[in-house]
Amino acid sequence: MRNLVFGLTAVVVAFGTAGCGYNKLQNQDEAVKAAWSEVVNQYQRRADLVPNLVATVKGFAAQEERVLVGVTEARAKATSIQLTPELINDPAAFAKFQAAQGELTQALKSLLVTVERYPELKSDANFRDLSVQLEGTENRITVARNRYIDAVRAFNVTVREFPTNLTANMFDYEVKPNFSVENEAAVATAPAVQFDNSTPSQSTTPVEAPPPAPPAN
């Protein structure tokens, strides 16, 4: 009799857990993790291309130190962030990661704009190969990000909707941070590049003084 009661209790608990969305939360949480792994993989692929790209450009345009240093520093900043599994549950850490990758994207755009001044570089086979790989990686990043955005959106909806929100609270499932539209728009903006031979320590860009304060009434 006791075994029968235990068996019925287990069935009820299992049915109740499934009915409250626990299995759905589990599946969607794993989908988010898988999508995030692909995002990280593609960003790492891009980071691995940067040193060779910088070295190739430097061979033809060493005087563009300002741009080359900017790309190198942006890569260093992006790769310095520890990509632990906990990052996708930490909005502050996720925002830091997003900002660093955005800076590297802008730095690479500046580098490619600079290349337009060097026809001999654009005709170099090694540079062309690296450019094709970089373009392909950027496309893969876009696809991976979109899949992650969709996976997080589905998970967050499940976490918030009733009655699965009760199960989510019970098992500590929380809304996950996502890539923001504002960042995507900023990254998509073409950079303004001034071609000169100044290094970061030699920059003479004037700083505009703030306008005078209006007279007090």
What SS3 class is residue 13? helix
48 within domain boundaries = yes
Residue 213: per-residue pLDDT: 43
Residue 211: per-residue pLDDT: 43
120 within domain boundaries = yes
Structural tokens at position 131: 């450019």
Q: How far apart are CA 60 and CA 170, in angstroms?
A: 60
17 within domain boundaries = no
213 within domain boundaries = no
12 within domain boundaries = no
Residue 187: per-residue pLDDT: 47
- Measured CA to CA in angstroms, residue 194 lies from 161, 191, 198, 204 at distances of 51, 10, 10, 12
DSSP 38-55: HHHHHHHHHHHHHHHHHH
124 within domain boundaries = yes
pLDDT (tens, 9 = 90+) of the chain, 217 residues, equals: 444 333 334 333 444 545 678 999 999 999 999 999 999 999 999 999 999 999 999 999 999 999 999 999 999 999 999 888 889 999 999 999 999 999 999 999 999 999 989 999 989 999 999 999 999 999 999 999 999 999 999 999 999 999 999 999 999 999 999 997 554 544 444 444 333 333 333 333 333 333 444 444 4
Q: How many CB atoms lie within 10 A of CB 83?
A: 16
Q: How far apart are CA 182 and CA 190, in angstroms?
A: 15
Which residues form the domain of 131? Answer: 22-192
Q: Where are the alpha helices (DSSP H) in the chain?
A: 2-19, 22-60, 65-79, 91-115, 119-122, 125-160, 164-170, 181-188
Under 8 Å between Cβ of 81 and 169: no
Residue 182: per-residue pLDDT: 52
The domain spanning residue 139 has which CATH number? 1.20.1440.20
Under 8 Å between Cβ of 52 and 172: no
**Farthest CA pair distance, the chain:** 90
Q: What angle do CA 96, 101, 107 make, to 5 degrees?
A: 130
Residue 125: per-residue pLDDT: 94
Residue 73: per-residue pLDDT: 96
Residue 192: per-residue pLDDT: 41
**Amino acid present at 99:** A
206 within domain boundaries = no
Q: Alpha carbon 17 to chain centroid distance?
A: 34
CB neighbour burial string for 164-196, b if at least 16 within 10 angstroms, e if fewer: beebbeeeebeebbbbeeeeeeebeeebebeee
Number of domains in the chain: 1
204 within domain boundaries = no
Q: What is the pTM of this model?
A: 0.73
